[in-house]
């Protein structure tokens, strides 16, 4: 069943409530989900205009974080990075220098190196993304087309024009690799440096 997709990729429990929704539904409602979590945060968070940062998180110089966002304990956001469109960083998640993260969930201990773009995606536990890798969220060359995913030999429309990837726990994505929109990576997948992953080439 489609509602079981998350459990095949992400071990539970997690800091972010990955309920029985398909991943693209989680991403498309991420803004409101994060806003609903903000009032439940404890005193160890500083909350300003819809952005919550745990007191143990380290935020580098010249970082821009647009609401809503939750940056949990022991997170790191490197200098000159840009977080927007609804971003949730679970405990221990790291974003290196000069990255852009848009409408995404970064789960426990995942690491995005530097000079990366991650758009409309869910990144599992202990994932490592090397420098320069891009997780695309939109088919620029397919005018008006919605993003599709491939599950059990079926091509399924997400109904969205923007959906990036579901990256399972423990994946390794090499430097300058590109994940095309609608990528689903099973836990432990290795994407080699400079590799293009395109699961829906039509």
Residues 6+ apart with CB under 8 A from 83: 63, 64, 65, 66, 69, 77, 95, 100, 101, 102
Paired with 110 in beta bridges are none
DSSP 8-state secondary structure symbol assigned to residue 38: G
Q: Which two tokens stand for residue 165?
A: 């990837």
Indicate which residues carry an active-site annotation. Answer: 114
Q: Which two tokens stand for residue 184?
A: 């689903």
DSSP 8-state secondary structure symbol assigned to residue 111: E
24 membership: H or E segment, kind and range: helix 23-28
Characterize the bridge pairing of strands 154-157 and 122-123.
Answer: unpaired
Q: How far apart are CA 34 and CA 70, in angstroms?
A: 7
Q: How far apart are CA 124 and CA 73, in angstroms?
A: 17
Q: Which two tokens stand for residue 109?
A: 């201990």
C-alpha to C-alpha distances, 110 to 34, 78, 101, 157, nearest whole angstrom: 19, 14, 13, 28
């Amino acid at each position: 069943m489609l509602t079981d997709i998350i459990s095949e990729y992400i071990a539970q429990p997690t800091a972010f409530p990955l309920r029985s929704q398909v991943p693209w539904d989680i991403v498309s409602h991420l803004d409101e989900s994060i806003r609903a979590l903000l009032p439940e945060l404890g005193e160890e968070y500083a909350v300003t205009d819809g952005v919550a940062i745990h007191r143990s998180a380290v935020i580098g110089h010249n970082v821009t974080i647009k609401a809503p966002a939750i940056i949990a304990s022991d997170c790191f956001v490197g200098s000159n990075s840009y977080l927007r469109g609804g971003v949730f960083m679970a405990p221990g998640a790291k974003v290196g220098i000069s990255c852009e993260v848009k409408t995404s969930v970064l789960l426990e201990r995942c690491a995005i190196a530097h000079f990366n773009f991650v758009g409309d995606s869910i990144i599992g536990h202990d994932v490592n993304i090397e420098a320069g890798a891009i997780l695309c969220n939109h088919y620029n060359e397919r005018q008006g087309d919605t993003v599709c995913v491939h599950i059990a030999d079926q091509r399924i429309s997400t109904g969205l024009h923007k959906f990036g990837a579901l990256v399972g726990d423990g994946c390794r994505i090499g430097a300058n690799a590109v994940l095309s929109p609608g990528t689903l990576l099973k836990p432990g997948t290795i994407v080699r440096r400079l590799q293009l992953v395109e699961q829906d080439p039509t």
